Structure 1
Amino acid sequence: MTARRTVGIAGTIVGAVSAGVAAGALAKRYAVGRIRLRPDPEANEPFGELRGRERVLTTSDGLQIHAEVDGPEDAELTVVLCHGYCLTSDSWHYQWRNLRDRYRVVLWDQRCHGQSARAEAADCTIDRLGEDLALVLEELVPGPCVLVGHSMGGMTIMALADRRPELFGDRIRGVALISTSAGKLAELSLGLPALVSRAVHIATPGAVSVMRQRSALVDRGRQAGNDVAFLALRLLAFGDSKAVSPTVVDFAETMIRATPSEVIADFYPALMSHDKLTALDVLNKVPTAIVVGERDWLTPPDHSRAIAAAVPTAELTMVPGTSHLVQLERPGVVNDALRELLERAANLG
């Protein structure tokens, strides 16, 4: 084969690939553009603008934790909201807005997330988050409270139950676990066929290693890939993706994109090794609500059913047509469940 012919074939291949990439980018922009042209009732919702009285806590390992306190100081109960992996306390927007008039609300950014300081990889563990939550209660919660956790935030509450069971009953009057798991996340199929799921699990540790070692490069790529991230998040984190507000998807995607790749990589092993099923019996001492979207791929309904089996006194709510970010996708359902839980917790006093 002549050099000229080789160059010609190579040029043809490169040209075809380039055309394919360009066509894919065009299709992606077209799809996102069509989504954004639909009516959006949440377009003017002030996401990320709710603010309370700021507090800064210092953990036992010298880390600064950002927190906010809102609502009446003399409220009968304090609600402590614990956000999920790659999110911030702003992810509780609808619940914060709904509860702040009647209840004292405490929100905090878990270590390495939001406005809280970064920690060493060795200190990015679920048990460490449980210790941080104990500090939040000690410093910011003067009376009885109800703990609410989404995803990793629910795991944080489980870690506290494991380490400090004596707090549940008198001090902690109720618990809500939303879209979370007591363990075995490493076995998830993510809705994929078995062979594909196995391949994903094999490849993921390597990808996580790259995220940690080349975080600056990865983060630049994440900043450039907004449309791809928008479509992926809309598909994976919201169940009824055709009905969900583009503004809500943008809001969630912005929080995730702001989480450094190193932080994502540092917490990943902790999530995969998380196992607190034996600690859940503590929750039988207080009213407990479990909420999960029936289409949640990240912490599937079976994980919530396992929690409910370990906490037979709990009330399990399966939300039709929703996925992992159920508190943003169907805030009214989550708010109703929390209000009912808070009424039950208030009656314990």
Structure 2
Amino acid sequence: MTTTTRRKVGIAGALVGAASAGVAAAALAKRYAVGRIRLRHDPEASEPFGELRGRQRTLITSDGKALHVEVDGPEDAPLTIVFCHGYCLSLESWHYQRKDLRENYRVVLWDQRSHGRSQRAGADDSTIDRLGEDLAEVIEEFVPGPCVLVGHSMGGMTIMALADRHPHLFGDKIRAVALIATSAGKLAELTLGLPAMLSKVVHKLAPTTVSMLGKRGSLIDKTRNAGSDIAFLITRYFGFGDSGNVSPTVVDFAESMIRQTPTEVVADFYPALMNHDKLSALHVLDPVPTAILVGDSDWLTPPDHSKAIAAALPKAQLTEVPDTSHLIQLERPGVVNDALRDLVKRVAL
């Protein structure tokens, strides 16, 4: 791999929150930085991340893909909460919310196609609209009564695609919605905290670079573990806020989900995210209680994107959480859990 190729891989890795072994970094400085973070007191060190389990199910979608689904909580609960995870994550990213809500509510979690334990799909079937169809089929199969939809990042976009294609579900079947750290469009205009000129260069290079990553995905995946300290730092930088109190165990947990997402999948979904535009579909959510949450330090789906959603949904409740970034459900689980409980209380059954 040439020096130019390694630099391109590093840019794309930062954009999607995953790092490859080719990212240029000083090993000593990297180890020092990671070491300092890991030496901090970690109250989450014994948290059973990835160990919560429900009743495991498989859904075969209308286009023949097997989706991994888990149903948790009491089967006879009058309300189901459906969780839709984000890009390069899995249903495990809802660890704290599942733990908090499953005692009183029926909870449905699913791995989006090509993520987690769900079946891989090709590039042509890796679209936000297709994810919306998948969600419609999950609801039809596993939600017998009224439900609340919760979506983080790409999961929020999935809910918007559902609203665009199945508006009749909102109001009777779907009683409330939570949109967490997400966007209705214009992600291609993100600055990622970079100066304007540098941001333009990155966005110009990104599509070609990500496409190149996809074509070399199997080779890159073999070397990603070698860059785990770099990946830890990138995940910490892009995924979490500046308070300095984020658990290194939580960062490791998030980074492991990202690392387990194949590079080809990262590349397949990247164009769909950049081309996502569902602002015109948001009015479908207006009749149901809607909560919008975003961290004020989110660089991947910045607060302006949540504010644009709120402007289209004047009855929605917007919460901007200080010193918090993109992985808000892991970084500020108490805030997110409280918001979801408040939302559920607004649901008329």
TM bracket (short chain) = over 0.9
Q: Match for residue 107 of structure 2? A: 105
* Residues 287 and 344, structure 1, Cα contact 8 Å, conserved in 2: yes
| 3-state secondary structure, aligned to 2:286 | helix
* Cα offset, 1:240, TM superposition: 2.5
Give the percent of matched residue pairs that are identical in Structure 1 and Structure 2: 73
Q: Match for residue 272 of structure 1? A: 274
State TM-score, norm by structure 1: 0.92
Indicate the structure with greater helix content: 1
The Cα offsets for residues 131-185 of structure 1, whole Å up to 9 and x where unpaired, read as 0000000000000000000000000000000000000001000000000000000
1:103 maps to a residue whose letter is Y
Q: Match for residue 20 of structure 2? A: none
The Cα offsets for residues 90-123 of structure 1, whole Å up to 9 and x where unpaired, read as 0000000000000000000000000000011100
Query: Are residues 1:147 and 2:149 paired?
Result: yes
* Residues 234 and 241, structure 1, Cα contact 8 Å, conserved in 2: no
1:181 maps to a residue whose letter is S
Q: Match for residue 308 of structure 1? A: 310
* 1:160 aligns with one of 143, 159, 162: 162
Cα distance in 1 for residues equivalent to 2:318 and 2:151: 15
* Cα offset, 1:241, TM superposition: 5.3
For CA contacts below 8 A with separation 6 or more, give which structure has more relative contact order: 2
* Cα offset, 1:242, TM superposition: 1.6
* 1:51 aligns with one of 25, 50, 53: 53
Q: Match for residue 125 of structure 1? A: 127
Q: Match for residue 10 of structure 1? A: none
* 1:286 aligns with one of 285, 288, 294: 288
Q: Match for residue 174 of structure 1? A: 176
2:170 maps to a residue whose letter is F
1:69 maps to a residue whose letter is V
| Bigger shift: residues 218-227 or 188-197 | 218-227
Structure 1 residues 1-349: aligned runs within 5 Å: 24-240=26-242, 242-345=244-347, 348-349=348-349
Cα distance in 2 for residues equivalent to 1:235 and 1:47: 21
Cα distance in 2 for residues equivalent to 1:210 and 1:164: 35
- Residue 221 to residue 73, structure 1, CA distance change in 2 (3 Å): same
2:288 maps to a residue whose letter is V
* Cα offset, 1:270, TM superposition: 0.3
* Cα offset, 1:209, TM superposition: 1.4
* Residues 243 and 323, structure 2, Cα contact 8 Å, conserved in 1: no
| Bigger shift: residues 23-32 or 152-161 | 23-32
Cα distance in 2 for residues equivalent to 1:101 and 1:198: 48
* Residues 282 and 313, structure 2, Cα contact 8 Å, conserved in 1: yes
* Cα offset, 1:73, TM superposition: 0.8
| 3-state secondary structure, aligned to 1:170 | coil
Cα distance in 2 for residues equivalent to 1:213 and 1:330: 36
Gaps of 5+ in 1: 1-20
* Cα offset, 1:223, TM superposition: 1.7
Cα distance in 2 for residues equivalent to 1:225 and 1:193: 26
Cα distance in 1 for residues equivalent to 2:113 and 2:25: 41
Cα distance in 1 for residues equivalent to 2:230 and 2:223: 11
The Cα offsets for residues 181-212 of structure 1, whole Å up to 9 and x where unpaired, read as 00000011111100110110011112111111
1:63 maps to a residue whose letter is K
**Structure 1 segments of 4 or more deviating over 6 A?**
none
* Cα offset, 1:216, TM superposition: 1.5
Cα distance in 1 for residues equivalent to 2:162 and 2:78: 22
* Cα offset, 1:23, TM superposition: 8.8
Q: Output the aligned Cα RMSD.
A: 1.2
Cα distance in 2 for residues equivalent to 1:136 and 1:205: 31
The Cα offsets for residues 226-284 of structure 1, whole Å up to 9 and x where unpaired, read as 00010111011101252100000000000000000000000000000000001000111
* Cα offset, 1:220, TM superposition: 2.2
Cα distance in 1 for residues equivalent to 2:332 and 2:109: 20
